[in-house]
Amino acid sequence: MKFATTPRTRLQLCALAALSVVLVLAPGAAQATTAGPAGPPAPGLLLWNKLGSATEVTHSEYGPNLVLSDCTLFACGLDVAATLGYPAGVFGGAASITGGPYFPGAREHTALLRTSILNPEHGAVEAWYRQTSDPAPFVHNPHRIFGGPYSLTGIDEVNLSSWDRLDSGDPRLHFSLFFNVEPPPFTPPHLVGVHSLSDGVEGYRISALNGQWIHVAGVWDRNGIASTPDTIRLYVNGQVVATSQDPSWGTTTCDRRLAGVDRCFLDIAGCNDTCADAFAVDNLKVWDYAKTDHSDRFVEGFAPTNRPPDCSGVTAAPASVRHQMRDKLLLVSLSGATDPDGDALAYRIDGVTQDEYVSGVGDDTFPDAVTPLGPSANQVLVRSEANSHYNGRVYRIAYTVSDGNGGSCSGTAGPSGNTTAKVSVPRKAGTPAIDDGNAMSWDSFTGAPVP
């Protein structure tokens, strides 16, 4: 079974010829989504389907539901509505063709994406895949992971498949794009596919990984993936294995591919010939951006988005101290930050400023602040004194509170500082200290003026 992925190769596409497959499901059918008011569980997500059971296939976790194929969708003949079984996958069950009997030349279709969601400009599709053995011509070839050759429309917008493309004994994992109008009958479509980084041939050999679950992903961006010349990439287990720098895959989505005809029938876990138990697909995700980081592939869903802590309630205790001996340092502790995720919080003292000079007329002590446990703590020593020539001293304590998961909040000191952690030292009993820190400020650690 041969299929062209370059315009120079002349191979006939029976499924494209004269629209020989009769598609009878009305456009727009089965397009319900599971989107809630909160939006997708991860930015840019278009579709997430676990593929672990018939219920999961027809009820996507997010995005359009998939449709299980049957002979009411198309005229069965060479095209067969195959049965899915659900063997153990990476996360629960996985989709795999089972049952039968099937026959050489049969085009087995299982789950179908009936909705136009793919962006011609950029996107990504990823899934876990396991093949028992290499695709073999007229035995089980190709394995359509997400789209691929000999689908109901002949070829799909996005084509991620394992395939012996030329029936030459060189089966490979392939990824190609076709966002274009329907070609005339018996005219090969112009696909843009990736070529292996190891040998320059179209596709990437995965025979050494047979029997193993591998993570596969196809990524595209017409303007360059991650600011590189690559326009298409194929990833295996998080690593780039094949690329293309050709942006000429077109701009036409399946709903506009052929006027008046529904062409949105993207094959998922489909195959040709006698495919029972030949391969399985698990945990399909489709994105609206060129996703290059697949380190999250071991998580079935999505790591919860971390929310930063809230510093609005941070205070210093004690907040006011009595003017005592000039050389006495008083321990002050910060507290009051909260975290919406319940994360443990860590404080850091970033600085302390005061609205009186540190050393000068009426004040001969230095420094006026010390961090006894180092800056990575919630405690600082401040000198409990106020210059008799002024209206009381106010310390402003700058801090950062971190949640250990990349979230933080902070308060700043100095002029126009927003810190809520302040300590006042009245010049005399019964007279509150006045905070002049916006007009004049000094670093309590170094004595330097703070502009």
| 325 or 50, higher pLDDT | 50
Residue 39 pLDDT level (bands cut at 50, 70, 90):
low
Confidence of residue 324 (pLDDT cuts 50, 70, 90): low
Name the 3-class secondary structure at 268. strand
Report how far residue 46's alpha carbon sits from residue 117's, in angstroms, rounded to the nearest whole number: 7
DSSP character string of 337-397: -B-TT----EEEEEEEEESS-SSBTTB----SEE-TT-SSSSEEEEE----TTTT-EEEEE
- pLDDT value at residue 236: 98
Residue 429 banded pLDDT, cuts 50, 70, 90: confident
Neighbouring-strand partners of residue 86 = none
Summarised one tens digit per residue, pLDDT across range 69-120 is: 988 888 889 999 999 999 999 999 999 999 988 999 999 999 999 999 999 9
What's the chain's length in residues? 451
Q: What's the chain's average pLDDT? A: 89
Residue 226 to residue 245: CA distance in whole angstroms: 13
In the chain, the percentage of residues whose pLDDT exceeds 70 is 90
Sheet architecture: strand order including 214-221: 45-49, 279-287, 122-131, 214-221, 232-236, 239-244, 195-196
Under the phi-then-psi rule, with left for phi > 0, alpha for psi from -120 to 50, and beta for the rest, what region is 30?
left
Which amino acid makes up residue 45? L
CB 246 within 8 A of CB 231: yes
What local confidence, expressed as pLDDT, does residue 183 receive?
86
Is the preceding omega at residue 318 within 30 degrees of 0, hence cis?
Answer: yes
**281 pLDDT above the threshold of 80:** yes
Are the beta carbons of 35 and 62 closer than 8 angstroms?
yes
Which candidate, 216, 43, 210, 55, places its Cα nearest to that of 126? 216
pLDDT value of position 448 = 97
Q: What is the pLDDT of residue 195?
A: 98
pLDDT in tens, 202-225: 999 999 999 999 999 999 999 999
Query: With bands split at pLDDT 50, 70 and 90, how would you rate the model's confidence at 326?
Result: low
> By C-alpha distance, which of 80, 71, 56, 38 is closest to 281?
56
pLDDT, one tens digit per residue, over 175-198 is 999 999 988 888 889 999 999 999
pLDDT band at 35 (very low <50, low <70, confident <90, very high): very low
Provide the total of helices (H) and of strands (E) in the chain, helices listed first: 1, 27
SS3 196: strand
Query: What digits encode the pLDDT tens for the residues 256-278?
Result: 988 878 889 999 999 999 999 99
Q: Determine the Cα–Cα distance for residues 302 and 295; give it in Å rounded to an integer.
A: 12
Q: What is the pLDDT of residue 171?
A: 97
| Predicted confidence (pLDDT) at residue 328 exceeds the cutoff of 50 | yes
pLDDT recorded at residue 365: 87
What CA–CA distance (Å, rounded) separates 413 from 435?
Answer: 12
- The set of residues, in sequence order, having a beta carbon less than 8 Å from that of 367 and lying 6+ positions away, is 358, 383, 444, 445, 446, 447
136 pLDDT more than 80: yes
Q: What residue ranges define each of the domains in the chain, with the CATH number in brackets? A: 17-298 (2.60.120), 315-443 (2.60.40)
Token pair 């071991």 in the structure block, residue = 298
Contacts of 20 (CB under 8 A, 6+ apart): 14
Residue 335 pLDDT greater than 90, yes or no: yes
- Report yes or no: 77 and 270 within 8 Å, Cβ to Cβ: no
Region 348-354: mean pLDDT is 97
The per-residue DSSP string of 204-231 comes to B--GGGTTS-EEEEEEEETT-GGGSS-S
> Would the pLDDT of 303 be above 50?
yes
Q: Helix, strand, or coil here: 254?
A: helix
Spatial contact of 97 and 51, defined as CB atoms under 8 Å apart: no
Amino acid, res. 346: A
Residue 28 has pLDDT above 60, yes or no: no
Q: What was the pLDDT predicted at 29?
A: 35
The closest alpha carbon to 425, from 335, 363, 371, 336, belongs to 363
pTM of this structure: 0.68
Q: What is the pLDDT of residues 371-414, one digit of tens each?
A: 998 889 999 999 999 998 899 999 999 999 999 989 999 999 99
* Residue for token pair 């789950």: 111
Q: Which residues contact 402 (CB under 8 A, 6 or more apart)?
A: 309, 345, 346, 348, 408
Query: Mean per-residue pLDDT for 416-431?
Result: 93
